[in-house]
Structure 1
Amino acid sequence: MSTSSGMVIQDVGGRDAPPLRGAWLALLTVALSLATFIEVLDSTVTNVAVPSIAGSLAVSNSQATWVISSYSVAAAIAIPLTGWLSQRIGEARLFVWSVLLFTLTSLLCGIAGNLELLVLCRAIQGLFSGPMVPLSQAILLRSFPPQKRVLALALWAMTVLLAPIFGPVLGGWIIDQFSWPWIFFINLPIGLFAFAACTALLPRERPDIRQPPIDMMGIVLLVVGVGALQAVLDLGRDHGWFDSPLIVALSLMAALALTCLLIWESAEPFPVIDLDLFRDRTFSFGVAIICLGMVSFSVIGVIFPLWLQTVMGYSAFQAGLSVAPLGILALVFSMLIGIFLDRFDARVVTSFGFLVFFAVLAWDAHFTLTMSFWQIVTPTFIQGIGLPCFFIPLSAAILSRVPNEKLAAASGLSNFLRTLSAALGTALSVTWWDNRAAHHYGTLAQSVTQASDGTGLFTRSLQTLGFGANPLAAIRDVVQQQAYMMATNDLFYVASLVCLALAALMWATKPWRGVSAQRAGH
């Protein structure tokens, strides 16, 4: 593998059958992309279905959120196990069975008649979903000829990036037109098609007769540590974070288990998680940057629609439509980057992507309560340029120097850390948003007094409009709305600075010249 003048994607052909060509390669790409799409979609589409599920199953909204939490915890445990499982089962075999079982559990979720059964089915579905995204990435790389592997990464990235954007829109439309079980039933035809196509097209793997011993201690520590950490992120806000003994106990459990896991795996000859991957500077630095980038992106994915619904009065479907334009330019630029990335320094493309995020988030930091729909949508539309510009080059960089036999493990570990970072960003941003709103509310409320000329003028205006019976309640609502608007601006501003720092940090890395796959294996 040449690294003298560029970042190179390894020849992952190895012992495998020659890459597919023509229509067969296109069909396999579609099948892999659709499988990835429904997996990523299922992690977001249920967010808008919580009220509908709660009403249908006669439970509270907080109880219904376990439908989301059970899935995310199970998937978080399964993703880092991908490399270890693929060594024992085979990448293609593990992938097709994951797709089939994911599809069948989607059916079980749709016909579940009570919350307990639905949560159980979602947890099982999450376990089967874990290997799907990292293995689809690894298999797609193996299936494309060397000179086309950056394009393969771009096609894979499109599904990973666009599914969370369109998930809430699609979920809201399905619930409005049909009912919540259909958000699971739509997986059936797509999943069965992906299973059939991948089973027919992927080469049969010979089982590896050199089966290493099972790292049982590593598996136990991984399940306990990652499960407890994901539970903290999912439940922390509702339980008041570290004011809750449950969250404190889960945090201590996660910290102890993960610390022991790192110590154990560093000395284990056959580890369930290969920490040696972090010895490569490109892999470790690329993972760090993409994780911080996903933390910033979570602000757009979570706070933006939350602000539209709770502050601006948009419906869930309208909020989804406001975010959806992000995917238009993201789709276009994903294809352009896949075709032309070899001609550019990866640092230039990635830094440009982060600078686009910086500019748009700084623009968002000046939003006001009087913004129209199109004034809100315009910067979101432009932001679609930046998303693939940072995600695709970094995804290529992370796997560029990974040996063939460690490709699935590297993809699983990087996708796990990326997903965990997005969950961390979501939890922290929502909590910080509420805290900043409370701070601004306290500051603004100090000026609302009987002696204030502004308060008197506003009260008289309310009386003129017929709100004289309870003007203080109306004033309180206005102050709270403004407080959340100011908190939203604060969050956008901080996220913009993070993106600016990441754009600069890219230039501290080892110089990369494109992502050349044409000399792979030389």
Structure 2
Amino acid sequence: MSSPKPAPPPRPPSQPLPPLTGGKLVMGTVALSLAVFMNVLDSSIANVSIPAISGDLGVSPQQGTWVITSFAVANAISVPLTGWLTQRFGQVRLFVTSIILFVLSSILCGLAPSMEVLIAARVLQGAVAGPMIPLSQSLLLSSYTPSKSGMALAFWGMTTLVAPVMGPLLGGWISDNYTWPWIFYINIPVGVFAAWATWSIYHKRESSTYKLPIDKVGLALLVVWVGSLQIMLDKGKELDWFNSSTIVILGAVALVAFIYFIIWELGDDHPVVDLRLFKGRNFSGGVIAISVGYGLMFGGLVILPLWLQTTLGYTATLAGEVMAPVGIFAIILSPFIGKLLPKIDARWVASTAFFIFAIVFYLRSQFTENVDTFTLMIPTIIQGAAMAMFFIPLTSIILSGQPPDKIPSAAGLSNFVRIMFGGMGTSITSTLWDRRTSLHHSQLTEFTGPHSPAFNEAVHNLMAQGMPEPAAWATIDRLISVKAATQGATDIFWISAVLFLMLIALVWLTKPQRSSLPVDAGGAH
């Protein structure tokens, strides 16, 4: 069309697509769920594989966490673009293209010969993964009758909760029995089938397309400030933070770009993200609570398997078994929370979630280097209950009172902030762990050396067992390193527990309205 105005939709809104039936409904549901499962799985499968990846590519485990943060930040940036891309290319074409590119980027991840190439491939993978979650929901809901939309979302939510259980198990087993690239190669058959099945069933159910303007300046500023901030957080420890001119420049660029981003977005007619939503009490309070809580939770999920493997000598498989139960209670309780939420105040449910999170991280703060596997798993199992009560009520609070035309923007912006905080939380937690470990190591070594009677006695006892003096010194140093790393990790867990308690107050600054609309657990990814 030559008209400058957006083309009218070929299918009027008053004539929605008929729901799918029979085998097409089953196949479509399976295909969409597999794509989501693959996406969410990739967010958690690498957690227990970081020591294997970093060791093979010749970097430290702390640098290995870039594999997670690069994916999270790229994913966060791409989420706000989903609406524009869907209107420009159509939801079916965009969804299938995202799956295909996700598979190709997974292959690049597996073939990566260095950490730099792997990070670049993970950035691509995170960017193309952005549209998959919201579009899978949209396509799934169009496949069912309105009366069965709650059941469809419940099934969809289960896939996002099962994946975090399977991720650590698969990642650990693959790392121990094969090689780490296979944690990415397993996406190939799943992705190929999901793309083929989705296109076969949905290609005639394409959504209308429009040529709408995009905020190019806002998008560029978003990429610059988020990217600069994340690189600063990831490279800070390695470059000695603000003693490095590189870190100073990155910090200045992030700050200036962020200020210009806010000014530009508030004045643009078609912003990448609608910052005016933060004027709402429910939206701002809910987004801050869910984002900070998600950053704390995600940072803990990364640090715990790292500590188990690099400090306590756990294999990747055993570390995965410790992490896997995190989704059990979430799977069991999520449907009940979804049904209960319209009947009670969402703030009570969210407050209960934060209180349980605080208990979980307090229990972890009591861990010692001699902790047994059963004790390690107890907080992980309990955390599943907190997850079930975390995402659903806070999402309800965030969207409460929003007009229908603002809900997509509100959901997109809240997901962007939450995912970004997940990546940054990982970087901050990793850096804090390293600093606290160094502090505890220096404090513990003050009591060692020839001037310490206890140290001399320990060396003498080891030598009495036939150990040479240098080996005795090395053994004691290893014990001190394990103790220091453990105390560093438990410091983080204790701080997280306190912050979770503080978030309860933030929840009660909101005033949500009760809603009968179904709320999914999709935030679990």
TM range (shorter): 0.7 to 0.9
Spell out, residue by residue over 1:326-360, the C-alpha distance to the aligned partner (whole angstroms, 9 max, x if none): 12222211233234333332122211111111112
Distance 2:291 2:497 in 1: 15
Structure 1 unaligned regions, length at least 5: 1-12
| 1:330 equivalent in structure 2 | 330
Which runs of structure 2 are paired with 1:506-521 in the superposition (5 Å)? 506-513=507-514, 515-517=515-517
Matched, 1:494 2:495: yes
Matched, 1:60 2:61: no
| 2:8 equivalent in structure 1 | none
| 2:218 equivalent in structure 1 | 218
Distance 1:189 1:274, change over 3 A: same
Q: How far 1:196 sits from its partner (Å)? A: 3.6
SS at match of 2:214: coil
Q: How far 1:139 sits from its partner (Å)? A: 4.7
| 2:3 equivalent in structure 1 | none
Q: How far 1:508 sits from its partner (Å)? A: 2.7
Q: How far 1:302 sits from its partner (Å)? A: 1.6
Distance 1:19 1:495, change over 3 A: farther
Deviates more, 1:198-207 or 1:357-366: 198-207
Q: How far 1:155 sits from its partner (Å)? A: 4.5
Q: Does the 8 A contact of 1:76 with 1:227 survive in 2?
A: no
Distance 1:413 1:346 in 2: 20
Distance 2:117 2:149 in 1: 42
Deviates more, 1:316-325 or 1:480-489: 480-489
Q: Of the two structures, which has the highest relative contact order with CA contacts closer than 8 Å and spacing of 6 or more? A: 1
Distance 1:407 1:512, change over 3 A: closer
Q: How far 1:503 sits from its partner (Å)? A: 2.7
Deviates more, 1:62-71 or 1:436-445: 62-71
Distance 1:256 1:49, change over 3 A: same
Q: Does the 8 A contact of 1:32 with 1:140 survive in 2?
A: yes
Distance 1:112 1:474 in 2: 36
| 1:7 equivalent in structure 2 | none
Distance 1:174 1:445, change over 3 A: closer
Quick one: which amino acid aligns to residue 344 of structure 1? I
| 1:204 equivalent in structure 2 | 206
Distance 2:492 2:342 in 1: 35
Which runs of structure 2 are paired with 1:81-480 in the superposition (5 Å)? 81-110=81-110, 121-140=121-140, 154-199=154-199, 200-201=201-202, 203-208=205-210, 211-470=211-470, 471-480=472-481
Quick one: which amino acid aligns to residue 279 of structure 1? K
Distance 1:268 1:292 in 2: 28
Distance 2:195 2:397 in 1: 29
Q: Does the 8 A contact of 2:105 with 2:125 survive in 1?
A: yes
Matched, 1:505 2:506: yes
Q: How far 1:131 sits from its partner (Å)? A: 1.7
Distance 1:508 1:65, change over 3 A: closer
Distance 2:167 2:212 in 1: 40
Q: How far 1:266 sits from its partner (Å)? A: 0.4
Quick one: which amino acid aligns to residue 37 of structure 2? F
Q: Does the 8 A contact of 1:350 with 1:390 survive in 2?
A: yes
Quick one: which amino acid aligns to residue 472 of structure 1? W
Q: How far 1:421 sits from its partner (Å)? A: 0.7
When the two chains are superposed, the root-mean-square deviation of aligned CA atoms in Å is 3.2
Distance 2:138 2:431 in 1: 35
Q: How far 1:386 sits from its partner (Å)? A: 0.9
Quick one: which amino acid aligns to residue 364 of structure 2? D
Distance 1:262 1:502, change over 3 A: same
Distance 2:269 2:454 in 1: 71
Spell out, residue by residue over 1:218-258, the C-alpha distance to the aligned partner (whole angstroms, 9 max, x if none): 12212222222232333333333333322222222222112
Q: How far 1:495 sits from its partner (Å)? A: 0.8
Q: How far 1:415 sits from its partner (Å)? A: 1.7
Deviates more, 1:457-466 or 1:490-499: 457-466
Distance 1:141 1:389, change over 3 A: farther
Q: How far 1:448 sits from its partner (Å)? A: 2.7
Structure 2 unaligned regions, length at least 5: 1-12, 520-525
Spell out, residue by residue over 1:43-67, the C-alpha distance to the aligned partner (whole angstroms, 9 max, x if none): 34345556666787xx533698776
Distance 1:415 1:98, change over 3 A: same
Distance 2:78 2:181 in 1: 25
Q: Does the 8 A contact of 1:233 with 1:424 survive in 2?
A: yes
Q: Does the 8 A contact of 2:47 with 2:305 survive in 1?
A: no
Distance 1:418 1:131 in 2: 15
Quick one: which amino acid aligns to residue 172 of structure 2? G
Deviates more, 1:346-355 or 1:32-41: 32-41
Quick one: which amino acid aligns to residue 498 of structure 1? L
Deviates more, 1:143-152 or 1:493-502: 143-152
Q: How far 1:511 sits from its partner (Å)? A: 4.7
User: How many residues are matched?
Assistant: 502
Q: Does the 8 A contact of 1:81 with 1:272 survive in 2?
A: yes
Matched, 1:483 2:484: yes
Distance 1:125 1:257 in 2: 25
Q: How far 1:496 sits from its partner (Å)? A: 0.9
Distance 1:65 1:508, change over 3 A: closer
Spell out, residue by residue over 1:132-154, the C-alpha distance to the aligned partner (whole angstroms, 9 max, x if none): 22333455566666666566555
Distance 1:478 1:110, change over 3 A: closer
Q: Does the 8 A contact of 2:84 with 2:212 survive in 1?
A: no
Q: How far 1:401 sits from its partner (Å)? A: 4.4
Q: How far 1:194 sits from its partner (Å)? A: 2.7
Q: What is the TM-score normalised by the length of structure 1?
A: 0.85
| 1:78 equivalent in structure 2 | 78
Distance 1:413 1:32, change over 3 A: farther
Q: What is the TM-score normalised by the length of structure 2?
A: 0.84
Q: How far 1:373 sits from its partner (Å)? A: 1.1
Q: Does the 8 A contact of 2:459 with 2:469 survive in 1?
A: no
Distance 1:245 1:316, change over 3 A: farther
Q: How far 1:112 sits from its partner (Å)? A: 6.2
Quick one: which amino acid aligns to residue 169 of structure 1? L
Distance 2:420 2:457 in 1: 50
SS at match of 2:45: helix
Spell out, residue by residue over 1:167-206, the C-alpha distance to the aligned partner (whole angstroms, 9 max, x if none): 2331232243343443233222322333344332483212
Percent same amino acid among aligned pairs?
Answer: 44
Quick one: which amino acid aligns to residue 444 of structure 2? L
Q: How far 1:422 sits from its partner (Å)? A: 1.0
Q: Does the 8 A contact of 1:138 with 1:408 survive in 2?
A: no
Q: How far 1:377 sits from its partner (Å)? A: 1.2
SS at match of 1:61: coil
Q: Does the 8 A contact of 1:353 with 1:389 survive in 2?
A: yes
Spell out, residue by residue over 1:394-423, the C-alpha distance to the aligned partner (whole angstroms, 9 max, x if none): 223333444444444333322221111111
SS at match of 1:516: coil
Deviates more, 1:421-430 or 1:136-145: 136-145
Distance 1:126 1:235 in 2: 20
Distance 1:23 1:393 in 2: 34
Distance 1:145 1:500, change over 3 A: farther
Q: Does the 8 A contact of 1:76 with 1:230 survive in 2?
A: no
